[in-house]
Amino acid sequence: MGRVVPRGFIKISAEGASYEPILNPTRIAIALFAMIGWSAFWLTIAVRSLVKARN
């Protein structure tokens, strides 16, 4: 079975209705560090293969 994750809520006021997203800064930070690590890994592999090809 799947799981349900809330993405936001609908705020209804005198001015009208609007959608308010729920942001999780912890998940955003974890994704950022994972992306930095992934990029560093592949950049290291690419540089090592270029240096190896020149020799």
DSSP for 5-47 reads: ---EEEEEETTEEEEEEPP-HHHHHHHHHHHHHHHHHHHHHHH
Number of folded domains in the chain? Answer: 1
Look at residue 14 and tell me if it is in a domain. no
Q: pLDDT at residue 3 above 90?
A: no
pLDDT digits (tens, 9 = 90+) for 13-50: 999 999 999 888 898 899 999 999 999 999 999 999 99
Domain assignment of residue 28, yes or no: yes
The whole-number pLDDT of residue 49 equals 96
The answer to whether residue 39 sits within a structural domain is: yes
Supply the pLDDT for residue 4: 83
Domain assignment of residue 49, given as a range: 23-55
Is 51 domain-assigned? yes
pLDDT given for residue 33 in this prediction: 96
pLDDT of residue 23: 86
Say if 55 falls within a structural domain.
yes
pLDDT for 5 equals 82
Q: Is 49 inside any structural domain?
A: yes
